[in-house]
């Protein structure tokens, strides 16, 4: 579970990138984080993952405070950044083992897990090549595999589907669903409203650092008293601001 309580972040220029944001992402759900460019999605994700310290407020990951108990909180998280250019001179296999060591994945079962994931994402033949030689989509896949290898309770993904081929995209969505169904938490940001519409149990719309809406799609339709697509509702909401 992720609880974000009254979190604020102001950048040097005095602009509040995130303004008293509170949010709860529950166990067993896929939570979509939507918003136009520069809305504060990535800043929020950075604060949740411990990359940025918030100026005010707290973030709890399964009860661990990311500021006060960072290591335990981070152990609960699997994070996929929007920039997959990680340690390019490591081989895919070395990267997976690095992540497994850092997240203290026991040696037994690791081999099977790697082969299973590689098979699922069709990466087996690329495992012994350097990440540098991968295509954008393959890099994305190896990062996702690096998260899945330690099987964290809480998944946080920043634009995870961009650059993935249809099959990997399908696989990832399926894995996200399975993970949530097992009682875990999945939170991801996206621009692609269709994905949010199909995959998410609940969504939040954020603009200019503030939450405009949190709830299910049905609740959103009820609030706005329309029966149009998410796209239209999203545009209506963010335009009003």
Partner 1 sequence: MNNVIKLIKIGLLTTFRGQVGKKRKIQKPLFALLLLVAFSPMVFSLIEIIRVMYESLDMFGQGDSIIALGLLVASMVVFLFGIFYTIGSYYMAKDIPTYLQLPLKPWEISISRFVMVLLYEYLTMLIFFLPVVIGFGISAGKGVLYYLMAVPVFLAVPILPLSLASVLVIAIMSFSKRAINKDRFTMIASLLGLAIGIGFNFGFQSLIGRIDSQTGFQEMILSGRISMAENIARFFPGLPNATRALVDNNLLHLIIFLLVAAAAILVFLLVSKALYFKGVLGINQQVSRRKFDVKRIDGFDSRNPVVTYLYKELKLIFRTPIYFMNLVMIDILLPLFMIVPMFISIGADEVAVIKEQLLASAPPGIFIAGSFVVFMFISAMNGITATSVSREGSQLYMMKYLPIGYADQLNAKLLSGMVVSTAGMILLMIVMTIFLEISIPIALLMLLSGLNAVILTRLTGMFIDAANPKLKWDNEQKAVKQNMNLVFNMLIGMGAAGLAVIFIIFAGKSMFLNVMVFIIGMAVVNYVVYRLLARSFPRMIERIE
How does DSSP assign 35-78, residue by residue?
--TTSSHHHHHHHHHTSS--SEEEEEETTEETTTSHHHHHHTEE
Is residue 117 close enough to count as binding partner 1 by CB under 8 A?
no
Select from 25-33, 124-132, 165-173, 201-209 the region that touches partner 1 (CB under 8 A): 124-132
- Supply the minimum distance, in Å, between the C-beta of residue 232 and partner 1: 35
The binder of partner 1 chosen from 102, 136, 231, 236 (CB under 8 A): 102
Question: CB under 8 Å, gap of 24 or more: what pairs does 111-116 form?
Answer: 113/149, 114/145, 114/149
- Supply the minimum distance, in Å, between the C-beta of residue 34 and partner 1: 22
Is residue 8 close enough to count as binding partner 1 by CB under 8 A?
no
Contacts (CB under 8 A) with partner 1, residues 28-47 = 46
Strand partners, 77: 154
- How far are the Cα atoms of 1, 51, 89, 92, 122 from residue 169, in angstroms, in the given order? 24, 26, 25, 19, 12
Is residue 13 close enough to count as binding partner 1 by CB under 8 A?
no
Site track for partner 1 across 51-70, x = CB under 8 A: xxx----------------x
Nearest CA among 34, 45, 64 for reference residue 7: 45
For residue 229, give the 3-state DSSP assignment: coil
The binder of partner 1 chosen from 14, 37, 107, 240 (CB under 8 A): 107
Are 58 and 67 within 8 A, CB to CB?
yes
Q: Which residues bind partner 1 (CB under 8 A)?
A: 11, 46, 49-53, 70-72, 74-75, 77, 79, 81, 83, 85-87, 89-90, 93-94, 97-98, 100-107, 110-111, 114-115, 118, 124-130, 133
């Amino acid at each position: 579970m992720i609880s974000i309580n009254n979190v604020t972040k102001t950048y040097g220029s005095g602009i509040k990138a995130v303004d008293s944001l509170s949010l709860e992402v529950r166990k067993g759900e896929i939570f979509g984080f939507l918003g136009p460019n520069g809305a504060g999605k990535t800043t929020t994700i950075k604060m949740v993952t411990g990359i940025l310290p918030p100026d005010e407020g707290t973030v709890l990951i399964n009860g661990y405070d990311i500021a006060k108990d960072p290591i335990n909180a981070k152990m609960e998280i699997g994070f996929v950044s929007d920039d997959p250019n990680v340690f390019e001179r490591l081989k895919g296999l070395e990267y997976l083992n690095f992540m497994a060591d850092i997240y203290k994945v026991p040696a037994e079962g690791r081999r099977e897990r790697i082969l299973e994931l590689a098979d699922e994402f069709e990466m087996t033949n690329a495992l012994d090549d350097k990440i540098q030689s991968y295509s954008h989509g393959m890099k994305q896949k190896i990062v996702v595999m690096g998260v899945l290898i330690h099987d964290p309770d809480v998944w946080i993904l920043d634009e995870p589907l961009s650059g993935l081929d249809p099959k990997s995209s399908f696989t990832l969505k399926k894995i996200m669903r399975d993970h949530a169904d097992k009682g875990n938490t999945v939170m991801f940001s996206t621009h692609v409203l269709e994905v949010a519409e199909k995959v998410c149990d609940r969504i939040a719309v954020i603009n200019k650092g503030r939450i405009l809406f949190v709830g299910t799609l049905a609740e959103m339709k009820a609030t706005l008293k329309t029966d149009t697509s998410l796209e239209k509702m999203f545009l209506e909401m963010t335009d009003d601001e």
